[in-house]
A and B are shown apart, each in its own frame.
Chain A
Amino acid sequence: MDYTQLNPNQKQEMLQAIGIDSVDELFEVIPPSVRCDEGLDLSPALSELELQRQLAEMANHNSGAHNMTCFMGCGAYDHFYPVHIDQLSNRGEFLTSYTPYQAEASQGSLQAFFEFQSQVARLAGLDIANASLYDGATAVAEAALLAVNTTRRHEVLVASTLHPEYLAVLKTVLADLAVTIKEIPSRGFKVHPEDIETLVSEKTAAVIVQSPNVWGQIEDWDGCFGAAHTIPKTAGIAVFNPIACGLLKTPGECGADIAAGEGQPLGNALNLGGPYLGLLAAKEQYMRKMPGRLVGMTTDEHGRRVFCLTLQTREQHIRGAKATSNVCTNQGLMALRATMFMTSLGSVGLQEMAGQCWHKAHYLASEVSNLDGWEIAFEGSFFNEFTVHCPLPVTTVVEEGKRRGLLVGVAAAGRRMRGLSAGDELIIAVTEKRTKHEMEALVSLFKELSS
């Protein structure tokens, strides 16, 4: 079904109103040589029933967090979210609306995004936030550009413990803009403020540090941003996990100027990597150079509080080549899910969720480190993810895990995380969803494999 709704009589009436005999006349301006008269070489249309069958068959050819136990993280987490998030966000009034340019016809989306911005700013411990970007990686890249545009400096220092895919996207984005990326070396799976002090200079626009970092270890944001701020105006960019903010110090509490992160853990499914949403929060001084959509509070002609898109002069549809970014949308539906999720949790729920992540991850880490030959890779603190050295090839662990319905973690040396390590590390994430029973299954697998 192509979802059109005209019958032949209606088409005829419409052609008559236009004063033509056939639809082909409307396409006559197209030179005959470029018309595709032979038609497209695609499979014939499928009915909805056939679609359901074929899609179910393809979906059934996948294993994942729905039919295996998922200990994989590294930027995408198998968190719980309540059913009402699906139900509410699937309401057609939200799902099938466009970017809320017309304030009078879009107060629902606008208020939700305003509330989202307010919640994200609180999570990050900073003054302001935008209405979301494509994903965590692009949020980090846009944060770097924000610092570059604000300081007019052309170098960024990036922790080598940043998620390698975020670094890869950052490299792509900065490649043509004459901005140099310098990596801050790591020792013991984390970076050190004294290295930043050595590297930072009058040329440095930003110092980017992720915590917990890609290995799961908590970085010394206070020290890192303190080192960054030894040079005036250099921005401290914290790459953060929104769930961790329920327990740990926020980017703002640690002296960050800008915070960027992946918002998927807030009520969004794993979705094989997308759609997700990028979170971007900052101190107030960055507001007029923020990329992406911003919703502001105002009044209508009757003096009532209402909302509208604001500071649009930053944006591409007004500024063209001088815009702060080419980003033209937010991830509206994902941001809506995230705000619904945060509203459903509140402070208490977020704290409970973060606490369970912490306790469960630490329980599992302690059980694994009690096994002969299995060793936690770093000494520092972690939140819901940690790295272990495996006493046997990581691929064997991963493969045996799959056979037993366990996604055991992310192999650092695997080609998907290329650039991280050529070693024996396995990065294991534990969310509030993992039960003691599931963790025991993982531990006994490890034990058997190494005995």
Chain B
Amino acid sequence: MSTIEQTMKSSRNDKPVEPLIFEKHVESMCGVDFPPLDVPESAIDETLAGAGINLPSFGQHDVMAHYTHLSDRNFSVDGNFYPLGSCTMKHNPRINEWAASQPGFACLHPLQDDDTIQGALRLLYETRAMLEEISGLHEVSLQPAAGAHGEFTALKVIKAYYAEIGQPERQVVLAADTAHGTNPASCTMCGAIVETVRTVDGQTDLEHLKEVIETVGANKIACFMITNPSTAGLFDVHIKEIADIIHDAGAKLYLDGANMNAMVGRVKPSDFGVDAMHYNTHKTFSTPHGGGGPGAGPIGVTEELAPFLPVPQVMMADDGSFYLDRDRPKSIGKVRSFIGQFGVLVRCWTYISACGPLGLRNVAETAVLNANYIAARLQDLYEMPYFSPEEGKFCAHEFVTVPRALLDKGVTLIDIAKRMIDYNVHPPTMHWPVHDCLMVEPTETESKYALDQFIDVMRTIAEEIEQDIEKVQCAPTEADIARADEVSAARKPVIVFTESEAN
């Protein structure tokens, strides 16, 4: 099929496929120009010179057109309700972007001397202090580049601590059966062994926790990685007891801070016994997700763990100036080049400063209110295993539904999710933390109008399943494309363009 045929093929109201840059480029074009060379040329040794890179080329307008077309083929928080559970797709204020793009921040070289970047170091120091206050923990490191990177870094810190105090045999990390996949993967990266702790109704099974500790041996356990509120969207009611059990075993309690949006300003993790945690600035603190990064995953730890934090650390000297401290003899070393995701942390500072202490508290309250409102209005059609206001069972900032009755009528969870795309709603997280579930996180920044529209969409889809099931089974019919064949994609992966891929 020729490109133009592909472009025009339209069996329904489908949008045309956008040709690849490799298919529409114009030989020897260039979308930027350079000043003429103002120095004499120097010969290039022929043995060093390459054969030349074959990159597609365009005039500048075609560059604009290509990416504008692509942008039109994306759902986003700006344009769509995006209730992706566990991802906290909240509004991304543009003052954050303005801040990070200030030349006085964006044009700083990472190896400059401290005395030339006092403003930037002040911002980092203040960000560190803010995150210490929000967690209640002794010291925060801004180094990790993402949540998973924060887990990895904190596990390293905990292991280094145990090595230091003569308990290197503590190599086992406990994680809930509903933990984020990054938890066990981060353990593997640290050479730790993962043991799973069961959950019952979205809560840690205390008896099983004790059993696992008994079986593994208390003296082998480094920490318990817990997500609170849990990945099922529930505050763990036993959190204090869990902390006590873990501490009695001589181990540490680690908090996966993915769900901080439900707690920020209302609960300090240190108050329920957390020894170490990571934040996801791209979840809780509104730094944009950018299609999958950049994020930042600062970690907070107690005083006894602090000496092991990675270098460098931003510090304030006695004279009020700021500096980067690389002399931490017990540090686990470096986890990322230079000084972390600075541009992301600028956005984080800006957001926390915009909200203030009362605003942050309101963020958590509103996030939780929004989730409970949707759950309450949908529970007659979408079963919610953990939600029952009559019994005083509420969700935190997100809820899980396993729509068994609808599924029994002959649709799959994917059908429902893809039908939501037809209604301009980004599907929630699916099949996680339990099979056949949708996990809905509306966030605090949506209006009541948006929430009501979403409720209408979900009710309409339930109605369609009753009356016109094919509409749901064939979804999406209104999206840019029909359902993508992900199975074939994995069976015979094509991950780069080669001329033979041209249609």
Q: Does A169 contact B (CB under 8 A)?
A: yes
Residues on B with C-beta less than 8 A from A300 are 481-485
| A100 & B291 in contact (Cβ 8 Å cutoff) | yes
List CB contacts (< 8 Å) of A40-71 with chain B.
40-46, 48, 51-52, 54-67, 70
Q: Does A255 contact B (CB under 8 A)?
A: no
List CB contacts (< 8 Å) of A88-116 with chain B.
88, 90-100, 102-109, 111-115
Residues on A with C-beta less than 8 A from B34 are 80, 349, 352-353, 356, 432
Q: A26-B369, A59-B119, A297-B489 are in contact. Are A45 and B359 (CB under 8 A)?
A: yes
| A3 & B38 in contact (Cβ 8 Å cutoff) | no
Residues on A with C-beta less than 8 A from B265 are 36, 39-40
| B156 & A172 in contact (Cβ 8 Å cutoff) | yes
Name the residue on A nearest B75 (C-beta). A105
A173 to chain B, nearest CB (A): 7
| B148 & A327 in contact (Cβ 8 Å cutoff) | yes
Q: Does B356 contact A (CB under 8 A)?
A: yes
Q: Which of A163, A305, A432 counts the most chain B CB atoms within 10 A?
A: A305
Q: Does B201 contact A (CB under 8 A)?
A: no
| B357 & A39 in contact (Cβ 8 Å cutoff) | yes
In the assembled complex, the Cα of A287 lies from the Cα of B492 at a distance in Å of 11
List CB contacts (< 8 Å) of A311-353 with chain B.
311-313, 315-323, 325-334, 336, 340, 342-353
In the assembled complex, the Cα of A7 lies from the Cα of B113 at a distance in Å of 49
Q: A59-B103, A63-B116, A274-B341 are in contact. Are A345 and B55 (CB under 8 A)?
A: yes
Q: A312-B490, A349-B32 are in contact. Are A134 and B145 (CB under 8 A)?
A: yes
In the assembled complex, the Cα of A15 lies from the Cα of B358 at a distance in Å of 20
Q: Does A296 contact B (CB under 8 A)?
A: yes
| A134 & B489 in contact (Cβ 8 Å cutoff) | no
Q: A14-B369, A61-B104, A358-B42 are in contact. Are A102 and B78 (CB under 8 A)?
A: no
List CB contacts (< 8 Å) of B350-367 with chain A.
350, 352-363, 365-366
B78 to chain A, nearest CB (A): 3
Q: Which of B103, B159, B368 counts the most chain A CB atoms within 10 A?
A: B103
Q: Does A451 contact B (CB under 8 A)?
A: no
List CB contacts (< 8 Å) of B146-193 with chain A.
146-149, 151-152, 156, 159, 180-192
| B495 & A247 in contact (Cβ 8 Å cutoff) | no
In the assembled complex, the Cα of A25 lies from the Cα of B390 at a distance in Å of 12
Q: Does B218 contact A (CB under 8 A)?
A: no
List CB contacts (< 8 Å) of B377-434 with chain A.
377, 389-390, 392, 394, 417-418, 421, 426-427, 432
Category for how many chain A residues contact B: 35 or more
Residues on A with C-beta less than 8 A from B192 are 176
Name the residue on A nearest B110 (C-beta). A273
| A58 & B336 in contact (Cβ 8 Å cutoff) | no
List CB contacts (< 8 Å) of B311-366 with chain A.
326, 332-344, 346, 350, 352-363, 365-366
| B53 & A66 in contact (Cβ 8 Å cutoff) | no
* Residues of chain B at interface, number, CB under 8 A: 206
Residues on A with C-beta less than 8 A from B354 are 1-3, 45-46, 48, 51
| A299 & B485 in contact (Cβ 8 Å cutoff) | yes
Residues on A with C-beta less than 8 A from B368 are 23, 26-27
Binds A, one of B209-217, B445-453, B463-471: B445-453
| A320 & B181 in contact (Cβ 8 Å cutoff) | yes
Name the residue on B nearest A103 (C-beta). B484
| A55 & B148 in contact (Cβ 8 Å cutoff) | no
In the assembled complex, the Cα of A131 lies from the Cα of B496 at a distance in Å of 11
| B335 & A169 in contact (Cβ 8 Å cutoff) | yes
In the assembled complex, the Cα of A312 lies from the Cα of B493 at a distance in Å of 11
List CB contacts (< 8 Å) of B17-42 with chain A.
17-18, 20-22, 25, 28-32, 34-35, 37-42
Residues on B with C-beta less than 8 A from A346 are 25, 28-31, 55-58
In the assembled complex, the Cα of A269 lies from the Cα of B105 at a distance in Å of 10
Residues on B with C-beta less than 8 A from A350 are 53, 55
B440 to chain A, nearest CB (A): 14
The listed residue (A62, A76, A86, A119) touching B55 by CB distance below 8 A is A119
| B481 & A304 in contact (Cβ 8 Å cutoff) | yes
Q: A55-B99, A103-B486, A328-B182 are in contact. Are A36 and B32 (CB under 8 A)?
A: no
| B488 & A321 in contact (Cβ 8 Å cutoff) | no
12 A-B pairs with CB atoms under 8 Å apart are A2-B354, A19-B390, A93-B79, A96-B78, A96-B289, A98-B292, A109-B74, A302-B481, A307-B484, A343-B67, A346-B58, A347-B52
